Amino acid sequence: VLSGCGVYDGTEIHEASAILVHLSRGGAEVQMYAPDVPQMHVIDHSKGQPAEAESRNVLVESARIARGKIASLAKLTTADHDAVIFPGGFGAAKNLSTFAVDGKDCKVNREVERVLKDFHKAGKPIGLCCISPVLAAKVLSGAEVTVGHEEEEGGKWPYAGTAGAIKELGGKHCVKEAVFSLTPFYEAHVDTKNKVVTTPAFMCETELHNIFDGIGAMVKNVLKLTGK
């Protein structure tokens, strides 16, 4: 499920690409979706500032990542899929929810909430990375997720405050390391009860290959939970 195209106002493109690579390697068939709604705003990524008097559609922008093969999120049903995965990027906090503005008092897009609840009720796995675990924390009370560490540690974890927000949303935050000291890959947290799998991704300032490997751990565990 995508939220636009670009880290500051949509889907984090490297995360989406990594998820697709690992799903392909795992032999999964993929269908991409996005809500057919306006973006909260448009960011000029070369300046990191809002582009005034410009508006874009989340579905249209997400189609850039999907190479045009995308459908409205309203068409996503549990009957047609074994699992659902949400990449990160600020779009998850701006377009899929209002978390970027409202924090613990945020609202989640109606279709996003429906999808999360439907997959949870059906006992089908849900994967999330980077900032998107806030969606599960808000919608699935008591779900265990990770966004990495709970302290900034000199800028290594610049979004560490999200961990506290997850607790305020009703979720349980589990601290995960960025990189193992001996094995160079990210950790993924598996909430076996709720079948929710999360990994920090770009919540940490680290090398791209570590993020890629962490997303791989998340995808692998999601596929494992499908039982196929």
228 residues of the chain, pLDDT tens digit each:
999 999 999 999 999 999 999 999 999 999 999 999 999 999 999 999 999 999 999 999 999 999 999 999 999 999 999 999 999 999 999 999 999 999 999 999 999 999 999 999 999 999 999 999 999 999 999 999 999 999 999 999 999 999 999 999 999 999 986 554 444 446 899 999 999 999 999 999 999 998 999 999 999 999 999 999
Q: With contact defined as beta carbons under 8 Å apart, do 188 and 198 qualify?
A: yes
Separation of alpha carbons 4 and 137, rounded Å: 21
Q: With contact defined as beta carbons under 8 Å apart, do 196 and 143 qualify?
A: yes
Tell which residue, 56, 65, 141, 138, has the closest CA to residue 95. Answer: 56
Residue 166 token pair: 């997850």
Superfamily holding 11-224: Class I glutamine amidotransferase (GATase) domain (3.40.50.880)
Tell which residue, 214, 35, 39, has the closest CA to residue 128. Answer: 214
Whether 130 is catalytic is yes
Separation of alpha carbons 182 and 106, rounded Å: 39
Determine the pLDDT at residue 176: 84
Query: Which one of 5, 106, 129, 130 is the catalytic residue?
Result: 130
What predicted TM-score, i.e. pTM, was given to this entire model? 0.95
Tell which residue, 199, 79, 187, 58, has the closest CA to residue 136. Answer: 199
Residues 6+ apart with CB under 8 A from 118: 77, 78
Determine the pLDDT at residue 177: 67
Please tell me the total number of residues recorded for the chain in this structure: 228
